[in-house]
Structure 1
Amino acid sequence: MAWRPEEDGLRQLSEYLKNSLSGHDRDKQKEAELMLMNARNNNDFVNYLTYIFSTPELSRTLNLAAPSLFLIRYAAAVNLKNHIKLFYSQIPPDQLAYIKVATLNVLRDANSQLRSFAGTVITETVQQGGLLQWPEILQELLALVSNSGGNVSVETQEGAMGALAKVCEDNRKLLDKEFQGQRPMAVIVPKLLEFASHQNPRVRTFALGTLKSFIPQKSQVLFSALDVYLQTIFQLASDPDVQVRRIVCQSLVQLVDSRPDMLIPHLEGLVNYILAQQQSADHPELALDAAEFWLSVGEQDQLRDQMGPYLERIIPVLLAGMVYGEEDALRLGGDENNADVEDRVEDIKPQFAQTKAGRGVVSVKDEESAPGTPQRNGTPQPNTDLEEGEVDDDDEDEDDWDDEDPENAWSLRKCSAAALDVFAVNYHSAVFNIILPYLKENLSHTLWPKREAAVLALGAIAEGCMEVVSPHLPELVPFLISRLSDEEPVVRQITCWCLARYSEWAARLETPAEKQRYFEPMMEGLLQRMLDNNKKVQEAGASSFASLEEKSGDKLKPYVEPILRQFTECFRRYKDKNMYILYDCLQTLADNVGPEIAKPPLVELLMPVLIERWNKIQDDSREMFPLLGCLGYIAMAYGDSFAQFTPPIFDRCIKLIYANLQQHMAFMSGQTVDQPDKDFIVTALDLLSAIIQAISPEKSAPLVQNSQPQFFDLLSFCMEDPTTDVRQSAYAVLGDCAIALYPSLDPYLPKLIPILIRQLDLDAIPDTDSENGFNVLANVCWSLGEIAARAPTSRLDSYVEPLYRGLLSLITNEEVPDAASENAATALGRLGLTCPAHLAPFLGELAEPFLQSMSKISTSHEKASAFVGFNNILEKNPQAMEQSLATYMGAIAQFPLKGRQGQEYNDVRASFARVIDGFGGLIGKERFEGFVAGLSAPVRAKLRDGYGVGVGGGGA
């Protein structure tokens, strides 16, 4: 007997479902959501949801109008899908069977959204239970699309094809595995190829899109039918439906990435087709899909090198695609002078703290693109999976683009510019020769969209065509500088970016006359745009000036005062959003010119406006992140001169860290507080690190000793914080304190060393975050080495064995990255500075891995210090070196002997001399000389020249 609902329960649950989507009455919505959660306890909850979702006749039973019925059924579908996702294992078999039958029936529903959501429920059921729990679903969906019985409506075919597409895309790998000797894909692919020629364009689109989703995994089944697949794609290339042609273009892009060899015989036709689709003025999404073909081609050697004969056709189409469309031009043209208008909160993009690179880890700074730089975000995909509370029109293929801001959206214009950049990098002068007449015609065009696109094109080819463009730059750069005064803000904006692309050329000019003619006007022009009356031009000017700073380095030293004068005026005039890039400009300047900005008149010029901003910003403002980071660079550039500003800054950093840690504890204990943003701790710790490095210990020690809460107590919590970025910065601060403030640190070592030991456990690093975990580990080892270099024996002797075991495990584990392993070896060697007797019994075990790790590290004072410690251990147990003596002698030979560098390493050389002399006495002069004679010639020469070995003496 089929399950039937009780009318009262049905009516009540339907009311809850309708109210759960009642966005205009939040109280009613919350109550409904709570009642639905309670309803889960009813054994028939799933059956009720399934019945409501799958029963169009519900309107008669409950006397509902069509809009209300749709919302109730839709809400039931959403809740059913989420219940399957969360509680699949708890759903009884009979209810699962009911879901399967009923959901398939919904594929025949008249409403397209409900048909679409039926596919979502089917997909979730397969996802949670596995295809083996519902193997017949594929055949049932295929039969519906095929209309094998002849009684299936076009709408049902469409719904079934949508469901099949969802199931296939979510189970791609599973479908390509063998079950009972057959791959489901072997059945599906031929059917999809058949459906790709279906009379319904929606079915064709789904079929093609599903086949496309199989390409990246390089399915054997699909690739064995690749000729048929290509033939199908080519047949649909002229399909009257735009969405079908979009999928054709996207499929070609996928094939370029996966099987470029298959496309080579068809290049002539492909180029013509892509160019035709790219010029579909009425269909910008199709044009964008086509343009992405060139970006993929540029990443494939096999196809990239074949594009030369087609450049004369491709480049003009790309240039045309870079011109703002009529609607965008109307929206952007004559943009207002809005520099005095306050920013809205939603206009300010979230900023995040930069992760502090591990000590001993080479940090590669991410180069942020200036405004206008082409960036590829990928092709947006249709939204096929509605989530709770979402209502999506299945008939509208909406893309996740920001239609409100064409400058920020990934568009045909940006894609075309990016493709031009790719071709310029690969074909250099050939591209420039094609583009040169275009530039001459359009750089001074009376229509601003033409001028703007020409400037964009000139910037796009900068990287690839620099060599051939350079002879023209003496003429082009002054022209571009004049464009900085263009009446259209959009042209001024793109000109800033374009000049930044050529700033390296200007920065490399050597003669005073050249600098005066090109570099200084470029610098002055960008500085002026930083105070433009349009905020977007301000942003572009600031971002481009930051790029100029990076390319110029210390060549900016003669210009620091006028630059800082402009920056201080920006601080006075900028609204909140542009402050972020202004901080970047200031910290880049400080990083490049260093103490040059620390001259008293310049300090008096900058710091009042910076402190004014510091006082204005609230502790919970996200602007605090770039401000703290900027102050860190200022502190390092000022050095001890920064001390006069540190007390309130240091105190506020302590308070920020303390408040964040308190909020974290409250959140973890279940109190009704928001989860804290740990970037506040990271940026505050990084600034404390910079202050401790910058100012003298006499001035920093009182700050540390008198902080409230106590500095090292607070640091100990950060050292065990669950967030890796916090721990990484905390250990950087710990190491800095060991270097600069060891007397202040010493009393807290009994509390901090056990924490350090716990961090050496590799099992504590989660597999999901191993990269960041190893960066933390590198800082842990670095800070431990700095402590070991200064702590007395009495502070470390009771911890030597666990420290040794932890460090050795890192050195000997091949999965540990070099940065962490080498820092661990350095720390282990430096432990021998104060605890050699405690480590001597382990020398036979540690010598070889220590020496191997040290061989990878370039000569430095830290490495020298580690060898002095190692030599101390060796002198306590020289017999243990028998197996590693040759490696050790090679390590000695790596250190410089003469000149200024030789003098810098006198301590370690004296230590080596003692060890060599000791070996001569231990095993006898003649035997030791014989051993040395068996070493390589370069090592023998270094030992002879530096330590007198082999010239009649046993040591230096």
Structure 2
Amino acid sequence: MPTWQPIPESLNQLCGFLRDSLSAWDKTAQKQAEMMLLQARSSPDINNYLAYIASNPELPPGVTVAPDSWGMVRSSAAFMLKNNVRTNYKKIPAESLAYVKLGVLAALQDPQVLIRTHVSVVATELIKRGGLLSWPELLPTLMSMLSNETGQFSDGAQEGAMSAMRQICEDSPKMLDRELNGQRPLNFVLPKLIEATKSPLPRVRTQALQAINIFVPRKSQAMLNSIDDLLQHLFILATDVNADVRREVCKAFVQLVDARPDKLEPHISGLVDYILSQQKSDDPQLALEASDFWLAVGEHDKLWQALDPYIQQIIPVLLECMAYTGDDIALLGLDSDDESEEDRAEDIKPAHAKKSSARNINKAGNAQDATAKATASFDKLLQGMGDDFEEGEIEESDDDDDEEEDPEERWTLRKSSAAALDVFARDFKGRVFECILPFLTNNLKSPDWPLREAAVLALGAVSEGCLDVVSPHLGELIPYLVTLLSDSEVVVRQITCWTLSRYSSWAASLTDPAQKSQYFEPIVDNLLQRMLDKNKKVQEAAASAIANLQEVAGKQIEPYAGPIIQQFVRCFGKFKDKNMYILYDCVQTLAEQIGPVLAKPELVNALMPALIDRYQKVPDDSREIFALLECLSYVATALNDAFRPYAEPIFQRCVHIIHANLEQSMAATSNPAIDQPDKDFLITSLDLLSAIIQALDGNGAAELVNSTNGSLFELLGLCLEDLTDEVRQSAYALLGDCARYVFPQLQPYLQSILPMILKQLDFENVLDEDIDGSFAVINNACWSAGEIALQHKKGMAPFVPDLLQRFVELMGNPRVPPSLVENASIALGRLGLDNAELLAPALPTFSEEFLAAMEDVDASEEKATAFKGFTMIVGQNPQAMEKTLLQFFAAIARYRDLTLRNPIKQELHDVFQQAINTYKQMIPQFNDFLAQLAPADRQALTANYVV
């Protein structure tokens, strides 16, 4: 260490503060210590003091903290030092940084594991902030300590070096693989890490593998060069006596499945035996890592097919691992009757507004495309795998206390095995069912509930892959499963709901009324009953199953809508907050499937009072409002004019939420002390306004808009320029709906809104890192521009040149996805309906792209109006079609539309005929020209038009 020495009084004071800052039993002392430490951060020598404390194994002279507290004080010093480096690295003097680095290297050799671990984090923070060149001797020093070729380093020092190296690999993988002075550090580091897996120290072997596993999926050249060497070491380590080492070996094999499956294929027989042996380990984490191997292999066809000979070995192990273990049962805390207990706020997942679909003109401008639903899918059952960070991204909140994890959301051996069984069943079908049949026979009626539950889970897991071979048994299985909905065990009732939902498509597809009565109706009736189970988890499972059943049954659910809604109403009166979310999903799924049938008086009069009652109880700032407003959007769309009696207060509340959110946003922009509001409140409110305007159509919607005295469009203008993509996406959807249904109210605001559309359509403003979100916004901007063009007619003239430029840029840019090219083309065609003469001179710049885009667009009113506008442009400048004329005639010949209303269909036919007549006069050998068309196209043209 350098010659710097602490002042004894200051050192003693600081140690006291560090100790007291961790004093859980004296809150006053803790608060005072935290304040003093905050002040101490401004001292120029603070990091020297912290490094001195962290790196000293012995209590320094004059320090009065109790000797048994010294370890705690040192850990606290290392923690504070890490935070100082993270937040103030550039302000730390060079001489202080040098002292800290030497202190870190000393502390990495400390006898205490905890100190070495904390100081490893300081080391990686120094590298993250300053880069490798700021501490060029670090990696060679760590490698020297790790290899211990001179024998001078203790076991603790080797473990400390490995701990720091693993931490650096984890936090700065890109930095290690980036060229520095003509070399990539990873080329030097990776072979050393592989060599370190031979260490006699289990902790070093484990952490070396952890570091290696960071780089396997990255497929860097250094890793690809080392694959063969790594495999040799893995095969040796596969029999390591240490379970932590074997866990990392299994993880490495999982990573290699994706990185180099070809390297594993020759060893598949041995790998199957090894993975199965580890999956049966008493160590739950090791067994889980092994089980995940099957899911990884399922993503690679050739390697997956290589498992074919081993199906009869693998499936029984998966089944064995699907039963709840004693530890699982203890974590679940199987409270049976908890229906009356209020949900804790922390038990309710933070709700987020679902991103509304981009307007797809190819589907008649329907903004209410189906969104991802929380149904009883396999993903729903196996939730909780967690979100991986983006490549190279570091979690900045790692200092925060970990939130208590819901045991049901942990990724477990049981879930991994069930998911693997599902994948095996999809591809190996009947052979898998043969393997599980003895398990089902022995355990479906077992008195041991974990085995009974596992058998029901297995039956659900194979439902999609093995349906053909399971179907002959369903006549017996379905009635038995229905009885299990009344099982005395909560988890059996819960899993039975899910398994029945997996077979609901089979039951819904039955055409024989007697069979429907025997199987489908009991499923519906009993799942509905379970929605009022005395256990909240069973309620959730049953509601999720009903949502899924409604979705797969579609229109066939209509005859049961009455009893279903009655039960939903009871649930609104009984469910606690957490289960309300799945109940909203049930309601909106029913609305989506039965549509206008929901408007029957006996249905709407039963459902709406319950929904409105809940709507009145949920405050504006509750996150539950997202799910509720989305549900109301589906209901409004289904009810159409029957929603009118409920529309005004809901409409006004949405406008109020938007106003309050924008007001807070503006306040937060000017005053950093005010938090920015959650944009999800804006998104769901805008989407519901869209749904209500669509539902009420015409006069009803106009009355609602008028009641806002123009504030709706002022607020909408602000949303159109919001910085959040999802807000603008929903705002442009609402703008298009206003153009379609309440244009007279919108028209006075177009002079300010149309420039906003032009700005949004400028592809140059799209950022690469958010390109997908921007495309969705531009989609809706195109759609709204087309809707406005239909209504504003000649009023669009001042904006035609700029709109033309934007549309042509989008249509001709190879980075733009085909769906957006189609939408831009249709908007441009519609612009031509009343402004053909302004667009005609530019026809050669877009005719080819327009016609190509139209080939894949389904027949719709949008396509018809766009083609009519385009043909009118052609009529203004027919000579400009010289290069694309044959393509144009082929498009006319292939145009088919059997669903449009007669006026639109006839208008399009007439303009096509006018175009044909024009070219008949212009082209002397017209029949010879038509002879260039494909025979089918020429025949269709002759049959439908006068040529």
Could you say which TM-score interval applies, normalised by the shorter chain? over 0.9
| Distance apart, 1:8 and its partner CA | 5.0
**Contact between 1:50 and 1:102, CA under 8 Å: does it hold in 2?**
yes
Q: In structure 1, what is the equivalent of residue 385 of structure 2? A: 377
- How far apart, in 2, do the equivalents of 1:757 and 1:179 lie? 45
Post-superposition CA distance 1:312-370 (Å, at most 9, x none): 22222211111111243356586321212222212211221111111117756435452
Alignment of 1:169-188 (within 5 A): 169-176=170-177, 183-188=184-189
Amino acid at match of 1:349: K
**Cα distance change, pair 302–883 in 1 and its aligned pair in 2 (3 A):** closer
Q: In structure 2, what is the equivalent of residue 104 of structure 1? A: 105
- The reply on whether 1:931 has 2:937 as its aligned counterpart is no
| Distance apart, 1:489 and its partner CA | 1.5
**Contact between 2:490 and 2:535, CA under 8 Å: does it hold in 1?**
yes
**Cα distance change, pair 718–376 in 1 and its aligned pair in 2 (3 A):** closer
Q: In structure 1, what is the equivalent of residue 834 of structure 2? A: 834
Alignment of 1:207-222 (within 5 A): 207-222=208-223
- The reply on whether 1:757 has 2:758 as its aligned counterpart is yes
**Contact between 1:401 and 1:409, CA under 8 Å: does it hold in 2?**
no
Q: In structure 2, what is the equivalent of residue 662 of structure 1? A: 663
Post-superposition CA distance 1:99-148 (Å, at most 9, x none): 32221011122332221122222222222333233332222112212223
| Distance apart, 1:938 and its partner CA | 3.2
Q: In structure 1, what is the equivalent of residue 607 of structure 2? A: 606
**Contact between 1:635 and 1:642, CA under 8 Å: does it hold in 2?**
yes
| Distance apart, 1:420 and its partner CA | 1.2
- The reply on whether 1:816 has 2:816 as its aligned counterpart is yes
**Cα distance change, pair 614–379 in 1 and its aligned pair in 2 (3 A):** closer
**Contact between 1:375 and 1:418, CA under 8 Å: does it hold in 2?**
no
**Cα distance change, pair 228–806 in 1 and its aligned pair in 2 (3 A):** closer
| Distance apart, 1:807 and its partner CA | 1.8
Q: In structure 2, what is the equivalent of residue 555 of structure 1? A: 556
Share of identical aligned residues, percent?
48
Q: In structure 1, what is the equivalent of residue 730 of structure 2? A: 729
**Cα distance change, pair 462–898 in 1 and its aligned pair in 2 (3 A):** closer
- How far apart, in 1, do the equivalents of 2:702 and 2:230 lie? 72
Q: Which moved more, 1:857-866 or 1:42-51?
A: 42-51
- How far apart, in 2, do the equivalents of 1:231 and 1:79 lie? 42
Q: In structure 2, what is the equivalent of residue 572 of structure 1? A: 573
Alignment of 1:53-68 (within 5 A): 53-57=54-58, 59-66=60-67, 68=69
- How far apart, in 1, do the equivalents of 2:388 and 2:248 lie? 12
| Distance apart, 1:47 and its partner CA | 3.3
Alignment of 1:275-294 (within 5 A): 275-281=276-282, 283-294=283-294
Q: In structure 1, what is the equivalent of residue 712 of structure 2? A: 711
**Cα distance change, pair 22–166 in 1 and its aligned pair in 2 (3 A):** same
Q: Which moved more, 1:734-743 or 1:69-78?
A: 69-78
Amino acid at match of 1:682: I
Partner SS, residue 695 of structure 1: helix
Q: In structure 1, what is the equivalent of residue 913 of structure 2? A: 913
- How far apart, in 2, do the equivalents of 1:842 and 1:390 lie? 60
**Cα distance change, pair 162–434 in 1 and its aligned pair in 2 (3 A):** same
Alignment of 1:225-624 (within 5 A): 225-281=226-282, 283-329=283-329, 335-360=335-360, 365-366=371-372, 368=374, 370=376, 373-375=381-383, 377=385, 390=399, 405-624=406-625
Q: In structure 2, what is the equivalent of residue 885 of structure 1? A: 885
Post-superposition CA distance 1:903-944 (Å, at most 9, x none): 7521111112222223334x25x2444433333333333332
Q: In structure 2, what is the equivalent of residue 788 of structure 1? A: 789
TM-score using structure 1 length: 0.92
Q: Which moved more, 1:314-323 or 1:67-76?
A: 67-76
Amino acid at match of 1:913: Q
Q: In structure 1, what is the equivalent of residue 366 of structure 2? A: none
**Contact between 2:15 and 2:65, CA under 8 Å: does it hold in 1?**
no
**Contact between 1:546 and 1:584, CA under 8 Å: does it hold in 2?**
yes
Q: In structure 2, what is the equivalent of residue 875 of structure 1? A: 875
The aligned length equals 935
- How far apart, in 2, do the equivalents of 1:411 and 1:898 lie? 53
- How far apart, in 1, do the equivalents of 2:131 and 2:698 lie? 64
RMSD over equivalenced CA pairs, Å: 2.8
**Cα distance change, pair 633–811 in 1 and its aligned pair in 2 (3 A):** same
- How far apart, in 1, do the equivalents of 2:537 and 2:720 lie? 41
TM-score using structure 2 length: 0.93
**Contact between 1:658 and 1:709, CA under 8 Å: does it hold in 2?**
no
Q: Which moved more, 1:810-819 or 1:11-20?
A: 11-20
Q: Which moved more, 1:548-557 or 1:64-73?
A: 64-73
**Cα distance change, pair 659–445 in 1 and its aligned pair in 2 (3 A):** same
Amino acid at match of 2:376: A
| Distance apart, 1:552 and its partner CA | 0.2
Q: Which moved more, 1:741-750 or 1:867-876?
A: 867-876
**Contact between 1:120 and 1:385, CA under 8 Å: does it hold in 2?**
no
**Cα distance change, pair 717–376 in 1 and its aligned pair in 2 (3 A):** closer
- How far apart, in 1, do the equivalents of 2:724 and 2:809 lie? 23
Partner SS, residue 672 of structure 1: coil
**Contact between 2:639 and 2:695, CA under 8 Å: does it hold in 1?**
yes
**Cα distance change, pair 385–801 in 1 and its aligned pair in 2 (3 A):** closer
Q: In structure 1, what is the equivalent of residue 196 of structure 2? A: 195
Q: Which moved more, 1:830-839 or 1:692-701?
A: 830-839
Alignment of 1:689-708 (within 5 A): 689-707=690-708
Q: Which moved more, 1:62-71 or 1:452-461?
A: 62-71
| Distance apart, 1:599 and its partner CA | 0.8
Q: Which moved more, 1:87-96 or 1:572-581?
A: 87-96
**Cα distance change, pair 410–751 in 1 and its aligned pair in 2 (3 A):** same
**Contact between 1:333 and 1:490, CA under 8 Å: does it hold in 2?**
no
- How far apart, in 1, do the equivalents of 2:22 and 2:105 lie? 25
Amino acid at match of 1:74: S
Partner SS, residue 510 of structure 2: coil
- How far apart, in 1, do the equivalents of 2:785 and 2:394 lie? 50
**Cα distance change, pair 230–883 in 1 and its aligned pair in 2 (3 A):** closer
Partner SS, residue 790 of structure 1: helix
- How far apart, in 2, do the equivalents of 1:876 and 1:728 lie? 35
**Contact between 1:444 and 1:451, CA under 8 Å: does it hold in 2?**
yes
| Distance apart, 1:7 and its partner CA | 4.2
- How far apart, in 1, do the equivalents of 2:901 and 2:716 lie? 37
- The reply on whether 1:641 has 2:649 as its aligned counterpart is no
Q: Which moved more, 1:50-59 or 1:119-128?
A: 50-59
Q: Which moved more, 1:734-743 or 1:37-46?
A: 37-46
- How far apart, in 1, do the equivalents of 2:44 and 2:333 lie? 62
| Distance apart, 1:258 and its partner CA | 2.0
- How far apart, in 1, do the equivalents of 2:540 and 2:486 lie? 16
**Contact between 1:332 and 1:490, CA under 8 Å: does it hold in 2?**
no
| Distance apart, 1:59 and its partner CA | 3.8
- How far apart, in 1, do the equivalents of 2:654 and 2:181 lie? 64
**Contact between 2:117 and 2:160, CA under 8 Å: does it hold in 1?**
yes
| Distance apart, 1:72 and its partner CA | 4.1
- How far apart, in 1, do the equivalents of 2:837 and 2:34 lie? 68
**Contact between 1:141 and 1:160, CA under 8 Å: does it hold in 2?**
yes
Amino acid at match of 1:306: A
Q: Which moved more, 1:542-551 or 1:118-127?
A: 118-127
| Distance apart, 1:553 and its partner CA | 0.1
| Distance apart, 1:635 and its partner CA | 1.0
Post-superposition CA distance 1:399-436 (Å, at most 9, x none): x8966x43321111111111111211221111101111
Q: In structure 1, what is the equivalent of residue 119 of structure 2? A: 118
Partner SS, residue 464 of structure 2: helix
**Contact between 2:584 and 2:628, CA under 8 Å: does it hold in 1?**
yes
- How far apart, in 1, do the equivalents of 2:710 and 2:899 lie? 49
| Distance apart, 1:698 and its partner CA | 1.1
- How far apart, in 1, do the equivalents of 2:618 and 2:464 lie? 39
**Cα distance change, pair 493–86 in 1 and its aligned pair in 2 (3 A):** same
Amino acid at match of 2:457: L
| Distance apart, 1:897 and its partner CA | 7.5
**Contact between 1:78 and 1:389, CA under 8 Å: does it hold in 2?**
no
| Distance apart, 1:61 and its partner CA | 3.7
Q: Which moved more, 1:311-320 or 1:356-365?
A: 356-365
